[in-house]
Amino acid sequence: MGRTGGSVAAACLRIFLAAICVVALICGGDGTSGAPYVTMRPHERVSSQPQAEPLPTLVSDMLDRAVGAPGGYPMTLTAHVGDHRVNASWTYIDGLPGLNMQVDSWLLGVLDAAAPAGSRYRPAMALNALQPLNQEMTVSAAPVQAAGTIVVVREKVKSSGTNGTGSVRSATVYVDTVTGQLRSGAELLRPESVPGIQSRITGVPADIAAPSQQEPPVTDLLLSPSGELTVTAELPGGPGRQVSMTMSAGDARAALSDYGRHVLGQLNAAAVPRPATAPALRHVNCDIVPCAALTYDDGPDARTTPQLLAILAERKAQATFFMTGSNTAANPSIAKQVADAGYAIGNHTYSHPYLTKLPIPAVKKEIERTDAAILAATGSTPAMMRPPYGAADAAVQGAVGKPLIIWAVDSLDWQSKNPAAFVPKVLKEITPGAVVLMHDVQPTTIAGQQELISTLQGQGYRLVSVPQLFEGTPLIPGHVYRSRPARP
């Protein structure tokens, strides 16, 4: 048994003597055992047998058991970041922007830290990143408890290399689903009870451990509805070696802060339902996932638009429809079908003219009549527009009163009328952040969508609506947009 095993045994004994129920010890590999992680119970010895793939299940992994939080929806990402292949999975929750932003900044921090020195993570690193690399990193953030007004999200980073080394770090975040307020796991505890718990879990007595000894913070706390408290923390002496213990409800009660007692009460209440967000407006972070916005112009069409809706629904792809006022007035039920399915809709003028050739009052009339037709059909006024042929000048931009969404990739689907031509063209020209122009009124365009969408998704693209693509960057009336600007 190496040095690590010895200190683990000492920690184990001390915790055992402290009459605390030790659930498990989880250690980063010490480079000699051949196993990236070793799981141990108090009465077991650390295994020195080399372990074959796959990695043994960590006991702290059991704490990751995700629960369905109201309004929650999952995201995944596989990326090559520096020497690491990163497999990330996380959950956003509708209507909790503070939580979603916290998850995003934590995730971006992990990804940036894995990027080579002097560079930052880019969504393009998550394209075609299936092949394994020497180092594997598993990143997760998922609700592990949801009750009353409380959702608890456990964030964890586990990394391993081929030389037997590994590390694991985790934290819990508490969010109030009514106020949106975020708290860290440590806030469950009275500040004065933290050093004692820290010393019990790490095996370093509180009176010996000098404050300067850089005690790793206790950040991963989970309270059960019956009041037991499971604390997972890093052991001193190196990052990534973790220990978990569960305190009895009696011991835990004495350590809880007012907030901790509030959480305990909520964990025994039914989860509060949350209002749903339209799918096209759900939070996605296109600085993290490689996004593309497929857009379809000139509809709605009674025959082809429903065919496209069926493909998009089956592929779980978001999209944006730039409708003309005349086709909306002719097919209001199809426009409503698009809106009811949650897709984004933009104004594409009434009669599809070159706006640059019209007097300004006529430009305004084109926009207003289309707004009215779309409002009558769908119940909502579009917040963005696309000028036919992409034709706009300063006067037009000033007159339309909405952001102008042009495109970065022109499929020329209307010209080739051939999926074998436009699908490869889009695949060749697309990059993360791009707006792609197509036309749902063309039967040949519909014929190419299954292949185009499944290929893009297979490469790692997340197909989003235009509002999702630009989330976090303002869309200003009169300004022209073609693609999402990259993170500086």
Residues that bind Ni ion (CB under 5 A): 297-298, 388
The length of the chain, given as a count of residues: 488
Q: Which is nearer to Ni ion, 30 or 297 (CB)?
A: 297
Q: Which is nearer to Ni ion, 33 or 347 (CB)?
A: 347
Tokens of 112: 């940036």
Least CB distance to Ni ion at residue 340 (A): 23
Q: Which is nearer to Ni ion, 203 or 382 (CB)?
A: 382
User: How far apart, in whole angstroms, are the C-alpha atoms of residue 323 and residue 349?
Assistant: 8
Least CB distance to Ni ion at residue 323 (A): 10
Nearest to 445 by CA among 339, 305, 314: 305
- Contact, 480 vs 452, CB < 8 A? no
Which H/E stretch holds residue 222? strand 220-223
DSSP class of residue 269 equals S
Is 297 assigned a catalytic role?
yes
Least CB distance to Ni ion at residue 166 (A): 54
Q: Which residue has the tokens 């770090």?
A: 169
Strand-pairing partners, residue 171, are: 155
Tokens of 120: 């930052």
- Contact, 347 vs 335, CB < 8 A? no
- DSSP structure string for 465-482: -HHHHTTTS---TT-EES
Q: Which is nearer to Ni ion, 148 or 388 (CB)?
A: 388
Query: Catalytic: which of 297, 298, 301, 413?
Result: 297
Q: Which amino acid is at 392?
A: A
What Cα–Cα distance (Å) separates residue 393 from each residue in 355, 357, 437? 9, 10, 20
Q: Which is nearer to Ni ion, 220 or 298 (CB)?
A: 298
Phi, psi (rounded to 5 degrees) for 185: -55, -35
Least CB distance to Ni ion at residue 469 (A): 19
Q: Which is nearer to Ni ion, 155 or 298 (CB)?
A: 298
Least CB distance to Ni ion at residue 413 (A): 11
Is 439 assigned a catalytic role?
yes
Q: Cβ-closest residue to Ni ion?
A: 297
Nearest to 417 by CA among 446, 388, 391: 446
Tokens of 247: 């305190």
Least CB distance to Ni ion at residue 75 (A): 32
Tokens of 48: 């020195």
Query: Which residues are known catalytic residues?
Result: 297, 439
